[in-house]
């Protein structure tokens, strides 16, 4: 009788272990599926934070030791649903875009102009090349940061390579599965002295990086025109965050 009881106990223990293992597999699988798109999800959530209905809220974080693995998986699913709703809210916007592109913050911030339905791109495709990190991305024109979804955005009101002065271009770090040569995902890997090339109106311009710095979104001095013919690139930093801006300044050679 005692042997049978021990056998049943061991059998129940094995069932519990298998059940726990199954939950771990589910959570890990969900994480692996979501992770490649985490940065994009995080960015869109930030962009739509002020548009999400107030009744939607995420449960406050708890100590993971007190949570059942199934609960954790449900929270991941809930976060995905919130993201989907945020996307729907963003698409529903129809307010005309403001003619004033930048006021108190650099673009890519959470406070941005309304979404522009169409992005006007120059007939002759202009390109940006950063050989060191193998970036090859088209330069697009647009009234607001919606243009970023089509390429690297030349900020309206700033100069162009053929006119001299300060050409300012912004780009996303997370837009496609990373690392992508069509984003600034690896912009933090460049160094002073590295070359950047711009194809503008079928003419190629070469630049050499002279300065790399991190600034706050409200530091819009980088948009000011200069006497020197320079190229200013910027993107969000650190990865998965819109807290700061990584700025790369290069001079024409």
pLDDT band at 14 (very low <50, low <70, confident <90, very high): confident
Please tell me which residue, 147 or 115, carries the higher pLDDT value: 147
In this predicted structure, what is the pLDDT of residue 20? Answer: 73
Question: What letter would DSSP give residue 222?
Answer: G
Q: Cβ-count burial of 209 within 10 angstroms (0-12 exposed, 13-18 middle, 19+ buried)?
A: buried
Report if residue 109 sits inside a domain.
Answer: no
Pull the structure tokens for residue 141: 């024109």
How would you class 187 by CB atoms within 10 Å of its CB: exposed for 0-12, middle for 13-18, buried for 19 or more? buried
113: in domain: no
CB 178 within 8 Å of CB 229: no
**115: in domain:** no
DSSP 8-state class, residue 138: E
Of 107-111, 136-140, 236-240, highest mean pLDDT: 136-140
Average pLDDT taken over every residue of the chain: 74
For residue 237, name the pLDDT band (cuts at 50, 70, 90).
Answer: very high
Q: What is the pLDDT of residue 130?
A: 98
pLDDT at 56 (0 to 100): 36
Same-domain pairing of 130 and 247 = yes
Verify that 186 and 234 share a domain, yes or no: yes
- The more confidently predicted of residues 174 and 108 is 174
- Whether 121 is in a domain gets the answer no
pLDDT category of residue 198 using cuts at 50, 70 and 90: very high
Query: Same domain, yes or no, for 86 and 181?
Result: no
Percent with pLDDT over 90 in the chain: 42
Residue pair 202/124 in contact (Cβ under 8 Å)? The answer is yes
- Are 185 and 236 members of one domain? yes
Residue in this structure with the two tokens 């700025």, named with its chain if needed: 247
Domain boundary among 92, 107, 142: 92
Is residue 103 assigned to a domain? no
Choose the weakest-confidence range: 15-19, 157-161, 169-173: 15-19
Q: Domain for residue 27, yes or no?
A: yes
Write the CATH number for 130: 2.40.260.10
pTM beyond 0.75: the answer is no
User: Distance between CA 150 and CA 157 in Å, rounded?
Assistant: 19
Encode pLDDT of 50-88 as tens digits.
444 444 344 444 444 444 555 554 555 555 555 555 555
> Which residue range is the domain that position 62 belongs to?
2-92
Question: Is 135 in the same domain as 238?
Answer: yes
Q: What total of structural domains would you count in the chain?
A: 2
Averaged over 201-227, what is the pLDDT?
96
Q: What is the pLDDT at residue 100? A: 40
Instruction: With respect to residue 101, please indicate whether it lies within any of the assigned structural domains.
Output: no
| 134 and 247 co-located in one domain | yes
Residue 26: inside a domain, yes or no? yes
């Amino acid at each position: 009788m005692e042997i049978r009881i021990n056998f049943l106990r061991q059998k129940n223990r094995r069932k519990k272990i298998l059940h726990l293992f199954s939950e771990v597999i589910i959570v890990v699988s969900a994480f692996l599926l979501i992770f490649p798109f985490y940065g994009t999800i995080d960015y869109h959530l930030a962009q739509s934070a002020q548009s999400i209905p107030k009744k939607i809220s995420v449960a406050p974080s708890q100590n993971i030791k007190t949570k059942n693995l199934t609960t954790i998986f449900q929270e991941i699913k809930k976060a995905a649903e919130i993201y989907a709703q945020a996307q729907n809210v963003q698409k529903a916007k129809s307010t005309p875009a403001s003619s004033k592109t930048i006021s108190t913050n650099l673009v890519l911030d959470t406070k941005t102009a309304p979404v522009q339905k169409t992005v006007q791109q120059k007939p002759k495709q202009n390109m940006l090349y950063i050989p060191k990190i193998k970036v090859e991305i088209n330069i697009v024109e647009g009234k607001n940061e919606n243009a970023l979804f089509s390429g690297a955005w030349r900020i309206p009101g700033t100069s162009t390579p053929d006119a001299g002065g300060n050409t300012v271009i912004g780009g996303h770090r997370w837009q496609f599965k990373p690392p992508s040569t069509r984003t600034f995902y690896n912009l933090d890997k460049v160094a002073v002295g590295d070359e950047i090339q711009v194809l503008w109106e079928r003419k190629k311009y070469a630049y050499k990086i002279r300065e790399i710095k991190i600034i706050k979104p409200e530091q819009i001095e980088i948009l000011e025109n200069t006497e020197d013919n320079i190229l200013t690139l910027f993107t969000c930093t650190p990865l998965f965050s819109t807290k700061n801006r990584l700025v790369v300044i290069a001079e024409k050679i």
